[in-house]
Structure 1
Amino acid sequence: MTPEQESRREWLLAQIRKTSGSWTTLRAESTLRRSPWPTSGRNTARKDLRALAARGELTVWNDATTGRRTYTSNTAMRRAA
């Protein structure tokens, strides 16, 4: 992983932790457009969400009906419990 990828993912994770609710690729992409990495596209947002979930920072929610995948912060879930 490059330092830029790590920095971008840490920045995105901080934004996710600041807000509540579910995160989709579209929401992450929109947020990244307002970041220090505004040229990040949909594929980058998708990969970043998956990487953060693989690290245990996010929980993945799959809707079997629509096939839609959303993510929530594990930190937010711990606070709510």
Structure 2
Amino acid sequence: MPELITRRGWLLAEIRTRGGRWTAQRAAAVLQQSPWPTSGRNTARKDLRALSGRGDLTAWDDRETQRRSYTPNTSRKAAA
């Protein structure tokens, strides 16, 4: 039986594969090609926040643009 994967698990795998900084807009665009194509920007924002809360992502705040972005937390890679 194939392993079941959650939307957040799928997104985290994509973030780790592609690397770089992730905004809600970038995550939403990638989710359009996922098994959950109806996920929008708000869902992506909540997923990024939850993954950061679990320690899988590191949050970065840009004071000039007042935007938050996320990067993979490499110290947690083996724990996933």
Return the alpha-carbon distance in structure 2 between the equivalents of residues 63 and 29 of structure 1. 20
Post-superposition CA distance 1:27-79 (Å, at most 9, x none): 00000000000000111000000000000000000011110100000028x8x
> Stretches of 4+ moved more than 4 A in 1?
none
Unaligned runs of 5+ in 1: 1-5
Aligned residues with identical type, % of pairs: 62
Higher helix share: 1
Return the alpha-carbon distance in structure 1 between the equivalents of residues 68 and 32 of structure 2. 21
TM-score (norm 2): 0.85
Q: Which residue of 1 aligns with 2:61?
A: 62
Unaligned runs of 5+ in 2: none
